[in-house]
Amino acid sequence: MAKIVVDVMLKPEILDPQGNAVASALPRLGFTFATSVRQGKRFEIEVVGDPTSEQLAEVEKAAEVLLSNPVIENYVVRVEK
């Protein structure tokens, strides 16, 4: 069944201590692929049936006021199978 996913990431210019911690741990474990790591949140929202466009609009609103803090974060809403 499809679900709605909201990805919330710190804005690029905002310090990301968690991402930095991961970025500096990786090479210590021998992983050298990353030039940068950012860590954010992923919300998986289930609705009854398949998401409607009204629901998506509502989720957008919720993402704006509850799931993210627009002062420091950006969000993306999408449907995932």
Instruction: Report DSSP state, residue 60.
Output: H
Say if CB 50 and CB 3 are below 8 A apart: no
With CB cut-offs between 5 and 8 Å by kind, which of a second copy, other proteins, none does residue 50 bind?
A: none
- Other Cβ atoms within 10 Å of 30 Cβ, number: 6
Q: Reduced to 3 states, what is the DSSP secondary structure of residue 19?
A: helix
- Contacted entry of a second copy, other proteins, none for residue 79, CB cut-off 5 to 8 Å set by kind: none
d(Cα 65, Cα 68) in Å, to the nearest integer? 7
Closest distance of CB 14 from a second copy, Å: 13
Task: Return the number of the residue (32 or 71) whose C-beta is nearest a second copy.
Answer: 32
In angstroms, give the least distance from the CB of 53 to other proteins: 25
Shortest Å, Cβ 23 to a second copy:
9
